[in-house]
Chains A and B, each alone.
Chain A
Amino acid sequence: MMRYLWLVPVMPLLGFLVLAFFGRNLRKSIITLIGTGTVGLSALLVILIGIEFLTSPPAGNAFTLKLWTWMSSGGLSPSIAFYLDGLSLAFIFVVTFVGFLIHVYSSEYMRDDEGFARFLAFMNLFVSAMLILVLADNLALMYLGWEGVGLCSFLLIGFWYKESANAAAARKAFIVTRVGDTAMALGLFLLITEFNTLDIRSILETAPAHWTPGSAKVVWIAFLLLGGAVGKSAQLPLQTWLPDAMAGPSPVSALIHAATMVTAGVYLIARNHVVFELAPIAMKTVAIVGASTLLIAGFAAVVQYDIKRVLAYSTISQIGYMFLALGVGAWSAGIFHFMIHAFFKALLFLGAGAVIHALHHEQNIFKMGGLRKEMPVIFWTFLAGSGALAALPLVTAGFYSKDAILWYSWSSEKGSLFLWAAAFLGAFITSIYTFRMVFITFWGKMKTHIHLRPGRAMLIPLVVLAVLSIIGGFLETPHNLGHITLFSGMLSGVLPEVHILHSGAESTELILQVLTALTGFFGIYLAWHFWMKKPGFLFRLKQTRAGAALHHWWLTGWGFDWVYDLLIIRPFTWLSNINKNDIVDYISIAPSNLVVWLHNLTRRSQNGNLRWYAAGIALGLIITLTIALFL
């Protein structure tokens, strides 16, 4: 089966090509079939390959499929080659499977849009690029996928391109991530300079012998790769594009801006974990970036009105958790949270999309309300997703994945009390903003009339994802709760084990778990209290000056956009406007002006008078003779 690994990214690519060339002339049912079918086939193939991989692992627990040499020059020869191991298997499973569900959902959600074929074509292209990203055998090919997903993100955010705001959001997403990508590219150049190869395995194998831990080069490389990761994964300080990216259709937010693409940074760091482990300061930075991002985004999420922006900030925050996990060396915990997050966040976005669809493109949660009775399936699935996001203990998958991160952020040798405290506070805020959203949307009075109800193609993916958000956690449970290690077992050959500092602290672990669980419930209570029971208090708070300022500050995502606008965008546009005509052009304008000036100066002498000219000649003759004779 593994020989057919190349078909996994190629199937959606074929779907893209067919839809791109013939999409306009096909019937909608055929378009649906091609668009979702290719991804479905890919998912099926991944499951078959996965079963074979897990039951009869190939030599070295990894499988490489080389298609052709991409470019070969001066010893550097990256190939078009795919590499399958536990890590990439986890990613391609999520990408194809969740991707397939979202495609099914979109086949109904986007059906009446005039650009239906274009939408599915771009979605297929995205899936293909994402698969190339995670399957890449070398960093150059990974960069291809990396940029490819960025492109699709651009195209899909700006899918409704007639609105300038959507186009601007798309542009912002592309350019901001491109800043990170450029850092990553520089990291690749440095790697080439050091190893003359971009092959991931050979880098990882030779790196420990090549560098002493903490040497300047490896720290630079780690930081530059981190630059790429924070761009793509919307972490500090490049997180500003993701909330705006919600301009795209909801399935896009679910697939690209929640489940898959934004976690590419996590994948990049995990893939190059050896490099990061050799650069302790970079590891520490990863953890700090994760911790601060999860807090900042969490606070911003509390005040958002737009349901998709709440979820967007929550995504930033949850990826912050993944970064935190990676930063403290809890590699597999980070990847596990990626998978669970993909399930529940895709679910939440799809649920939100269904609500938005039903309420005729209303995205403001304060104009929703009372949907619990009207849309029960949506409500229950959304509740399952929200529970997982808020990490309700024992019954949701989010609990298991997030608990592991909290535990390791304290107990790992790279962890600390501060990191744990940040994660703990983040968990508390998460439960507040999650249930604020749930309460406002589904309880209370109905404020907007339901316009149309979702059909089967939209509900089935929701239900499947809801089930996964509940039971997905049982793949990996803590020591004191069954100690199942199916997921980390799959990754054990790829990613190193976390080094526990506080060993044998079983009781501490239990205390922390209980503490987290309690704060989660407390957060839900607070959400109920402030937004349902006594909304007046917050309203009054917003009337005060400080309250309003804080509200505005959080609403605009801590003012990062404002700072970037002031520091980068305005100077750049100012400079372009003032120098539109290219100041260097004076190199050619100046001599020509000089000639014109001289011409104007001497033209008086050209008066057309023959005798005047003759006198000039005579004068010249006399002067020449004088000079010749006397000098």
Chain B
Amino acid sequence: MIIINLIGILMLGGTAAWIGSRFHPHAARSISLVSVSLAFLLILGYLANNLSTIGVTSPGAWLEEVRFSWIPAFGISVHFAMDGLSLVMILLTLFLGVLSVLVSWKEITDRKGFYYFNLLWILAGIIGVFTALDLFLFYFFWEIMLIPMYFLIGIWGHEKRVYAAYKFFIYTQASGLLMFLAILSLYFIHGRNTGIYSFDYTDLLGTQFDPKTGLLLMGGFLMAFSVKLPVVPLHNWLPDAHTQAPTAGSLILAGLLLKTGAYGIIRFAIPLFPQAAHTFAPAGMILGAIGIIYGAKLAFSQTDLKRLVAYTSVSHMGFVMLGVFAFNQLAYQGVVMQMVTHGISTGALFILVGFMYERAHTRDINSFGGLWATVPKLASMMLIFALASLGLPGLGNFIAEFLVLSGSFQANMIITAIASIGLVLGTVYSLRIFQRVFQGPKNKEWNFSDLSWREVIIIGSLVMVILWLGLYPQPVMDAVKPVITAVLGNL
């Protein structure tokens, strides 16, 4: 029931915020903060109550499951379920969700009601994606998170927002349709094989195909997930969308939407088509390595701070692709860690860049310089997350990269060795962010104020989490362990 409650709270909260904004200008943000926090507290409460069972469930078992029929004629049901992986992702979603409301607090001044409505519906859609087990329902939520995001970028974005919103929409929608096609084919093939026409994930698991069909159908799923992840060469929507979106939009895009791609691969693409996945694995790992290096190289070339951070996401998500197709425990643990820590660290970088933009009204890296003494708090926070993004041990991203690489190394040494060049390139671009903005001579006498209390709370909480994940990641790893065992067991 908790899943329905979470989605319900967010959807109702969003609608209430829209309506509320008609009566009071600040009602929208308060209502959304309350409802997102409520959802976050709810899941924290759930976590506290079930701490002992998470991580010791048998592989493949669900922590929580709801199921009732929706369109029985076509075998469509409302089927939500949550295991360790979903739980971790929901926690991340709601944590970043609270922060995204907080960062919008002052940034958004125009059409607030509709803004918060979109924000909360995206979150609801994401939670739906992380929990839906009926493929039809999954696709439904996949779209729900897409359309409000389109509005978010298109209405509240920066100077090239319409172009970015279109690009984002077309990429995601076109690839999503391919996935829908694959879902339908899967539905019919399974129906013809067994006589049971059902969209349910648990029914569809273990469907037999001839290898070619399997590869084709997995391609459909993978297309949608690779665009979201993104995998080079399908990444081009990302720099535009991330750059043009408002801060909260970038935070959610980088922190959460990309993770739905990774989640989709782990939850659907690989378990549904194990044979095809094995065939595709070397190509997948190569794509991952290419993504790591190419993304890093492009990040280094950018002069727009937000665009730079956006390309670092491409590089970091390469690790996910690399690890997912390595098919071993270490790599999968690393992939999940990468999903969480990248959400935190890149989200934080976007927030910090957003703070800078609010102060300077420019994102051009060359217009800054020597600002360390001016804004020491902002600078040290930026330093911490730049270091996280280059994979400094002690911060969460290191655990992720270390596990992914050590896992994928066992699967393929040469590709991994090439991919690890990304560690050096990561240093190059991360240092560039920090040094160009905060070191060197001052280009211009900026009159900045340092972080306010609200901003310190936002960033401080992210610092705490990234440190915790860097020094004691075991709880997360334990929570997803049964899931990983189950996924790998089916291969």
* A positions within 8 Å CB-CB of B: 20, 24, 68-74, 76, 80, 114, 140, 143-144, 146-148, 151, 154, 158, 161-164, 167, 170-171, 174-175, 178-179, 181-182, 185-186, 188-190, 192-193, 572, 575-577, 579-580, 582, 584-585, 587-588
Contacts and interface: CB of A to CB of B under 8 A. Distances in A.
A582 B236 contact: yes
B472 interface: yes
B236 A584 contact: yes
Contact of A80 (B167, B235, B471, B481): B471
Contact of B423 (A72, A178, A572): A178
Contact of A185 (B235, B423, B431): B423
B279 interface: no
B423 A188 contact: no
- The B interface, classified by DSSP as helix, strand, loop or mixed, is helix
Given A74-B330, A182-B420, A151 B232 contact: no
B167 A588 contact: yes
A580 B299 CA distance: 9
Contact of A164 (B333, B373, B440, B472): B440
Given A167-B435, A175-B427, A587 B410 contact: no
Contacts of A175: 424, 427-428, 431
A349 B487 CA distance: 58
Nearest to B303: A580
Given A20-B380, A70-B471, A171-B431, A186 B420 contact: yes
- The A interface, classified by DSSP as helix, strand, loop or mixed, is helix
B301 interface: yes
B432 to A, nearest CB: 8
B477 A174 contact: no
A164 B370 CA distance: 9
Interface stretch (B66-74, B205-213, B386-394): B386-394
Contact of A189 (B373, B380, B406): B406
**CB-CB nearest 10 A-B residue pairs:** A74-B329, A576-B301, A144-B393, A189-B409, A161-B439, A167-B439, A580-B301, A73-B333, A584-B233, A164-B440
A180 B427 CA distance: 13
Given A161-B439, A185-B423, A190-B413, 16 more contacts: A20-B380, A70-B473, A71-B333, A71-B399, A73-B481, A144-B394, A158-B435, A161-B435, A167-B439, A171-B431, A174-B431, A178-B424, A185-B402, A185-B420, A587-B236, A588-B170
A164 B366 CA distance: 13
Contacts, number: 142
A192 B471 contact: no
Nearest to B394: A144
Contact of A167 (B233, B403, B440): B440
Contacts of A74: 328-330, 333, 407
Nearest to B409: A189
Interface of B: 167, 170-171, 232-237, 239, 294, 297-298, 300-303, 328-330, 333, 370, 372-373, 376, 380, 387, 392-394, 398-399, 402-403, 405-407, 409-410, 413, 416-417, 420-421, 423-424, 427-428, 431, 435, 438-442, 471-474, 477, 481
A582 B439 contact: no
Contacts of B373: 114
B297 A71 contact: no
Nearest to B411: A193
A587 B236 CA distance: 8
B301 A71 contact: no
Contacts of B376: 24
10 contacts: A20-B380, A73-B333, A143-B393, A144-B394, A161-B435, A161-B439, A174-B431, A185-B402, A579-B298, A580-B303
B233 to A, nearest CB: 4
Contacts of A167: 435, 439-440
B425 to A, nearest CB: 9
Contacts of B474: 69-72
A131 to B, nearest CB: 14
Nearest to B416: A189
A158 B417 CA distance: 30
A170 B233 CA distance: 34
A588 B435 CA distance: 33
A140 B402 contact: yes
A484 to B, nearest CB: 40
Contacts of A174: 427, 431
Nearest to B429: A576
B235 A158 contact: no
Nearest to A582: B298
A575 B297 contact: yes
A577 to B, nearest CB: 7
Contacts of A68: 472
B409 A186 contact: yes
Contact of A158 (B171, B233, B439): B439
A162 B439 contact: yes
Given A182-B421, A185-B423, A73 B477 contact: yes
B312 to A, nearest CB: 14
A277 B239 CA distance: 50
A76 B233 CA distance: 34
Nearest to A144: B393
Contact of A588 (B237, B328, B406): B237
Contact of A192 (B232, B298, B406, B420): B406
B403 A73 contact: yes
Given A151-B392, A588-B236, A193 B410 contact: yes
A221 to B, nearest CB: 12
Contact of B393 (A72, A147, A164, A182): A147
Nearest to A190: B409
B441 A164 contact: yes
Contacts of A186: 409, 416-417, 420
A162 B371 CA distance: 9
Nearest to B405: A189
A170 B477 CA distance: 35
A161 B438 contact: yes
A182 B424 contact: yes
Contacts of B399: 71
Given A175-B424, A576-B300, A161 B472 contact: no
A70 B472 contact: yes
Contacts of A190: 409, 413
Given A182-B423, A588-B236, A73 B393 contact: no
A238 B481 CA distance: 40
Contacts of B239: 582
A240 to B, nearest CB: 15
B394 A580 contact: no
Contacts of B473: 70-71
Contacts of A76: 330, 406
Given A189-B405, A193-B410, A582-B298, A587 B233 contact: yes
A293 B282 CA distance: 41
